Amino acid sequence: MKKYISAILINALLLQFVGCYSQKEITYDEFYSMPKQQEAKVVTSDQVTIELTSDSLANNYMYWWKGPDTLTIYSTHLEKVWSTALMEVTDTIQYSKEEISKVIVDEYDETKTIIEILILVVPIAVIVIGFLTWD
């Protein structure tokens, strides 16, 4: 029974490693028209790259708001006020639509995922199942 569970878990692990996302460069207007709060990399005209992510660290988090003409970024972190006191500080940065040269988003690529599953996962799964059932 342990062999079968191992074979299933190994396949599940391999499937976690497979999955293709490709980066797509879009304009700010396309980014603004996206319905949800999409994670992205924003490159300004000064070649400053800002990574908009929903992952937050223990004492640092970011929120952004997409307006039709401006992107507002709120970054909150803890700052030491005295030797023993910490204070939560929020920095606000605004970029106009003209200051943003490009926006890069991750896009799921179904074709690459299917090809990788067929090339990588299926042969490895067959080999593992063969070894587990070989007595």
Burial code (b: 16+ CB inside 10 Å, e: under 16) for 21-51 equals eeeeebebeebbeeeeeeebbbbeeeeeebe
Q: Is the pLDDT of residue 33 over 70?
A: yes
Q: Is the pLDDT of residue 11 over 90?
A: no
Question: Average per-residue pLDDT in the chain?
Answer: 80
Q: Is the pLDDT of residue 129 over 70?
A: yes
Structure-model confidence comparison of residues 60 and 27, the more confident one: 27
Domain range summary for the chain, segments of one domain joined by +? 20-111
Q: Is the pLDDT of residue 105 over 60?
A: yes
Q: Give percent above pLDDT 90 in the chain.
A: 14
